[in-house]
C-alpha cells in the first residue's frame, strides 16, 4: 500500500466480512484523494470554471429544502415589530431615538 490514493493496491477487496461492491474501491480511492486534494480542487474549480462550480453546488443542494419566506408585518410578534420600528426611527427624516432610549432589544 502506498501514499498515493490512486494506487489500485489501496482498494479494499473485502470490507468487514462482506465482499466489496464493484464501486467500493472507487469510493475509497475518491474519498482518500478528496481528503488530500479536495479543498484545492474545489477552489481551482471555483476560480477557473465558476459555471461548473455552480453546477457542483447545485448537485449537492437538497431539492426539498423550502425557500425562506419573506415575513410580513402580520407575521411579526409585537416585540419584533417594536424592535424593527425602534431601529428604523433614527433613519427617518427628522427621526429621533425611541422614546426613553429604548431600542426594543
Over residues 4-58, the pLDDT tens digits come to: 655 555 555 555 555 567 788 888 888 999 999 999 999 999 999 999 999 999 9
Q: How far apart are CA 42 and CA 56, in angstroms?
A: 9
Q: Return the pLDDT at 45.
A: 94
Between 85 and 100, the more confident residue is 85
Residue 71 has pLDDT above 60, yes or no: yes
What pLDDT is recorded for position 102? Answer: 54
**H/E segment holding residue 19:** strand 18-19
Strand pairing of 18-19 and 14-15? antiparallel
- The full set of domain ranges for the chain reads 8-60, 66-105
Amino acid at each position: 500500500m502506498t501514499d498515493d490514493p490512486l494506487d489500485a493496491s489501496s482498494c479494499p477487496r473485502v470490507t468487514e466480512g462482506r465482499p466489496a461492491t464493484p464501486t467500493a474501491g472507487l469510493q475509497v480511492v475518491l474519498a482518500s484523494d478528496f481528503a488530500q486534494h479536495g479543498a484545492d480542487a474545489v477552489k481551482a474549480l471555483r476560480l477557473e470554471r465558476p459555471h461548473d462550480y455552480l453546477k457542483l453546488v447545485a448537485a449537492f443542494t437538497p431539492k426539498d429544502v423550502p425557500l425562506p419566506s419573506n415575513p410580513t408585518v402580520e407575521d411579526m410578534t409585537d416585540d419584533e415589530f417594536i424592535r424593527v420600528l425602534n431601529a428604523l426611527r433614527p433613519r427617518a427624516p427628522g427621526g429621533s431615538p425611541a422614546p426613553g432610549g429604548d431600542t426594543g432589544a
